[in-house]
Every structure is written in structure tokens, then in C-alpha cells.
């Protein structure tokens, strides 16, 4: 999306003079995605909370690979987390969490967290703005979209004028964003159909009816008039205040934590009965080019504080929802516009990279770690990226299908392609059995190649089940260089030849995908 179009499509329909707990809020009356979610899951009250880690989170220091720890340590000797301080996960030995993430560790061990390894997309973009745009619109890296991954769905399924919301069936805002401007994820072809709360007053002023005084000047009288008109246009203010008023006591949240402050608001509104389907919150500072860790103790430093803040906020949020008897309504996920490079730099930081883990949490989330530890080279260079294992749009498809109960036909329209679904959420959530296998903890080899190393060509052997099978070849920058296989198979063992004569020497990654199963195989081309 071009910057001028971004501003055009994200301009709110009305500016409202109140905020919740000091954060501006966007309420989307008829975001295409959310209207569809309301219709597709009319018999449930499920909520999705998206947590954006802005700046590009270093996933390799968030989820530390224990089974290839020596390669990890060699690649980032100045910031590597000591093996003995990595937080262990129940019944999983191949990876653990950063020592500051005790909250997420406890939620995982309670069976409420799924970690998805190496999430990205082919040929990643390393610009913050463009990469964020790709994640929010669900586009390929070589296309520019003016609609969000949710907006496309509702444009086709729930057409209608923006002023048809709110209505009797949908009196509540269908989406609320705390902070920032209206997300491109919620844009339909007709633009944003909602209202924004963007002033500097806080949530409690809103629910208590407190209004900041205006100066006794001509400008002050004009400001008071504008506020009055804005309040009149805020069709959702009464609904928000009513929901908030139902909750008079909440659990403990960490102090001086802006993400926790945002999630506390979300918990209050969810527990108060607001039928909002989607919430967006964010926390920044993850662009850690320097001083990511402390020289004397790599478990401390800027990145550690960021991860501690995220982990503690999510745990407090889930504990609060449980105490308010509303936790079963919520699934949450973290995402960042990209990860960081495998090798650390001389400034004790990491530079823009490709794939990184995502965390999905909630009462109905299936505990486990999807995927293997990233494939790391023996000797990492400054250009080496973590190879993608899962496409981020597979995560979207899985949540839409398994949490919001969207069917196959609609998924293809929403995401424009048929992406593999992952076992993230129990089939109980939609009252169906999804047919997806449980998370596999035992490793099975699905793809090999011989010879390896090779000079000009190598034979790839793969073992697949029934259905569409795809093999993609990526270079160390994450660029897609070849797709030797992409067709429907019957179960069995197959071979294909990868001709790399035209490619420079170096490491390549062959990614195998069959349904919910994927695997990455490093290959080395030499002279």
C-alpha cells in the first residue's frame, strides 16, 4: 500500500474526544472482516486479540534452539542466552524461552500456549513500513493491496452502506484498536467505516463522564462545540461505558507497562459483555540494532525488558480474564513485521531479518511447538536469515477456521489462496473436529537430497501423504528461487531434480509442505 493510500484508507470517519486509559481507540462499525466474523460465528462470542511487537522482534533470542545450541551460540557469541538459563517447556526438549518470559512459560505449561517456529513469507521485505503493510494486508511481497486480509472477506459477504452500523443486531463496535491509527488489516474496498477516539483524556474520564475543561476563550468555546458534536456522533460510547461499568474490580497488572495497560482495558470490555470481535494492541522498541543485551549478563538488557513486559502483560491479562470468568472467549496472538538475522552484529544487536516465532495463547489453544528449531549454518555470515517454515497467512487461516468457524470457501476469498492450516485451536471451539493432526513431537524425515553438498544439481527425495504437496527453494536472504513441486499427490515417496547451475554457490533451503506438515532441509552448492 502506498503511503498516500495508507493515509486515505485509514482516515477515521469521525474523531472522538475520549480515550480509554490514556490510549486512543478506533471503533470499526462495519469492518468487512468483522461483520463476516459476526455472521460466520453467530452462535459464539469469540474474541481475537492481536498484539503487535513493532520494530522487528529477534525471535532467535525469544525462543532459543537447544537442540542446535552450539550453532546458535557460535552465531551470536556476544548476545547468546546461556544454555543453563533458558526457560524449559513441559515435554519439549528442542527449544526454550528467554529467561525473562516466565509468564509465557507458566501459561505454556498450563496448556494455554502454542509457539509457531519461523513464521514469514517468501522473499521478505526488510523495510518496517512495507513489511508491516504485508502482514496487515496479507499480500505477497511483490504486490501492493489497498484492502486488509479481513476487509476483503466482508466486502464480498456483507455489502452495505457504512451508516447501516450500528444496528439492532450489531449495537457494539465490531473491532477496537487501542493506540496508533486505523490498521490496514481492517480496510475494505470502501475504506474505514468506523469512528476513532483520539484525544488525550483517559478511559476513566470516559466511563465517569469527566470532560477536560476548555479555556474561557473563543477557541475554547469552539473546542467545546466540536467535542459536543463528536460525542453525538459516537454511537458506541454508551455501549462502551455500559460494558465498562459492569466490571468494578480487576486482577493485578504489572506497573509501568503500556501493553499491560492496554490489555487491562480489553479484559474489562470483554468481561463487561461488549460483543466486539477483534482487538488490536501494540508495544514498540523491538528494532534492536544495538545494546540488545548487556555485556556482563546477556539475559539482561533492552530486549530482555521488552520480552519481560510482553510476557508479564499477557499472563496478567489471562489471569484477569479467568478471574472475570471470560477467558474462554479469548484467543490472542503476537506478531512482528519481521525477525532479525542469525548472526549478531558488533554493537551487541541484530539487524533486520526474515522469519520469527509467533505465540498464540488462550484456553482453547493446543499446547505445543509447531515446527523444528531453525536450520542454522555451521558458520553464519551477516546475510544469513532464518528460513521460513510457516507462512503467516497460514496462521490467519487457522484462526479464522478454528476460532471464528469460517468455512473453506470463505477462507480462499479472504486470503486469496488456499494456505495450509495448522493445529492451533481445539475443534471444540467451533463444535467440530477439524481433521488436523495433533502437534507432532517426534521428528520424521520428510525431505532429503543427494548429493549434498552438490555442484550443479541434486536429487530431492520426499515422503508425502495424500493431497497437495509443495517444495520451495529459498536462499539465505529468504528469497524464493524455485518451486520444483506444487501438485496433488497420492501418499508415497517421490523424487525431483533441483537444477541449480544458474545459481551462485552457497546454502539453500528446500521447504516441504503437505497439508499441516512442513519441514526444511539445508542444501549446500559448491564448485
Q: 420-458 pLDDT, tens per residue? A: 999 999 988 886 544 445 444 446 889 999 999 999 999
Q: Write the pLDDT tens digit of every residue in 468-526.
A: 999 999 998 899 999 999 999 999 999 999 999 989 998 899 999 998 888 999 999 99
Average pLDDT of the chain, as a whole number: 83
As given in the structure block, the three cell numbers for residue 288 are 534492536
Q: Are 120 and 388 in contact (CB under 8 A)?
A: yes
Neighbouring C-alpha atoms within 13 Å toward the C-beta of 60: 35
Q: What angle do CA 254, 257, 262 make, to 5 degrees?
A: 100
pLDDT score of 1 more than 50: no
Domain residue limits, the chain = 3-441, 444-527
- Segment 162-171 shows an average pLDDT of 71
Q: How many CB atoms lie within 10 A of CB 147?
A: 25
- Cell numbers at 18, concatenated: 475520549
According to the CATH classification, is domain 444-527 in 1.10.10.10? no
**Cβ(428)–Cβ(63) below 8 Å:** no
> Which pLDDT does position 390 carry in this prediction?
96
The arithmetic mean of pLDDT across residues 90-115, rounded, is: 97
Give me the torsion for CA of 437, 391, 337, 416, rounded to 10°. Answer: -110
Per-residue pLDDT, 159: 61
* Residue of higher predicted confidence among 21 and 59: 59
User: Taking the CB of residue 418, how many other CB atoms lie within 10 A of it?
Assistant: 11
Helix (H) or strand (E) holding 452: none
Amino acid at each position: 500500500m502506498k503511503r498516500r493510500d495508507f493515509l486515505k484508507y485509514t482516515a477515521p470517519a469521525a474523531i472522538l474526544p475520549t480515550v480509554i486509559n490514556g490510549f486512543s481507540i478506533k471503533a470499526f462499525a462495519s469492518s468487512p472482516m468483522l461483520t463476516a466474523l459476526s455472521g460466520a460465528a453467530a452462535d459464539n462470542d469469540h474474541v481475537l486479540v492481536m498484539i503487535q511487537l513493532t520494530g522487528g522482534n529477534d525471535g532467535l533470542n525469544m525462543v532459543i534452539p537447544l537442540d542446535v545450541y552450539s550453532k546458535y551460540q557460535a552465531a551470536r557469541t556476544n548476545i547468546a542466552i546461556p544454555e543453563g538459563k533458558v526457560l524449559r517447556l513441559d515435554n519439549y526438549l528442542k527449544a526454550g524461552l528467554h529467561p525473562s518470559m516466565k509468564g509465557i512459560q507458566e501459561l505454556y505449561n498450563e496448556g494455554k500456549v502454542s509457539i509457531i517456529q519461523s513464521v514469514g513469507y517468501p522473499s521478505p521485505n526488510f523495510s518496517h513500513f512495507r513489511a508491516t503493510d504485508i502482514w496487515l494486508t496479507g499480500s505477497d511481497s511483490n504486490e501492493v493491496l489497498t484492502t486488509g486480509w479481513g476487509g476483503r472477506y466482508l466486502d464480498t459477504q456483507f455489502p452495505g452502506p457504512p451508516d447501516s452500523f450500528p444496528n439492532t443486531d450489531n449495537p457494539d463496535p465490531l473491532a477496537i484498536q487501542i493506540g496508533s491509527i486505523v490498521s490496514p488489516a481492517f480496510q475494505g474496498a470502501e475504506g474505514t467505516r468506523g469512528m476513532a477516539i483520539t484525544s488525550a483524556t483517559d478511559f476513566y474520564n470516559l466511563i465517569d463522564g469527566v470532560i477536560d475543561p476548555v479555556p474561557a476563550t473563543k477557541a475554547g468555546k469552539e473546542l467545546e462545540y466540536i467535542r459536543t458534536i463528536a460525542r453525538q456522533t459516537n454511537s458506541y460510547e454508551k455501549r462502551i461505558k455500559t460494558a465498562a461499568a459492569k466490571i468494578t474490580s480487576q486482577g493485578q497488572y504489572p506497573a509501568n507497562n503500556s501493553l499491560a495497560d492496554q490489555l487491562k482495558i480489553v479484559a474489562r470490555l470483554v468481561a463487561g459483555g461488549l460483543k466486539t470481535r477483534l482487538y488490536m494492541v501494540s508495544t514498540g522498541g523491538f528494532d534492536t540494532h544495538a545494546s540488545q543485551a548487556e555485556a556482563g549478563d546477556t539475559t539482561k538488557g533492552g530486549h530482555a525488558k521488552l520480552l519481560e513486559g510482553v510476557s508479564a502483560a499477557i499472563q496478567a491479562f489471562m489471569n484477569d480474564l479467568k478471574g472475570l470468568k471470560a477467558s474462554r472467549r479469548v484467543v490472542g496472538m503476537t506478531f512482528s513485521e519481521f525477525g532479525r538475522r542469525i548472526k549478531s552484529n558488533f554493537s551487541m544487536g541484530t539487524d533486520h531479518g526474515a522469519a520469527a516465532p509467533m505465540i498464540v495463547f488462550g484456553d482453547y489453544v493446543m499446547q505445543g511447538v509447531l515446527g523444528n528449531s531453525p536450520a542454522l549454518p555451521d558458520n553464519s555470515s551477516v546475510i544469513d536469515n532464518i528460513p521460513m517454515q510457516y507462512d503467516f497467512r497460514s496462521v490467519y487461516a487457522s484462526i479464522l477456521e478454528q476460532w471464528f468457524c469460517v468455512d473453506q470457501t470463505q477462507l480462499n476469498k479472504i486470503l486469496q489462496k488456499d494456505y495450509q492450516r495448522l493445529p492451533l485451536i481445539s475443534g471444540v471451539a467451533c463444535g467440530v473436529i477439524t481433521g488436523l493432526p495433533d502437534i507432532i513431537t517426534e521428528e520424521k524425515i520428510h525431505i532429503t537430497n543427494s548429493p549434498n553438498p552438490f555442484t550443479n544439481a541434486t536429487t530431492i527425495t520426499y515422503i508425502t501423504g495424500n493431497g497437495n504437496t509443495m517444495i520451495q527453494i529459498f536462499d539465505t536472504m529468504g528469497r524464493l528461487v524455485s518451486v520444483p513441486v506444487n501438485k496433488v499427490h497420492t501418499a508415497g515417496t517421490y523424487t525431483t531434480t533441483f537444477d541449480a547451475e544458474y545459481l551462485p554457490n552457497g546454502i539453500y533451503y528446500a521447504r516441504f509442505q503437505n497439508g499441516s506438515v512442513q519441514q526444511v532441509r539445508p542444501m549446500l552448492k559448491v564448485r
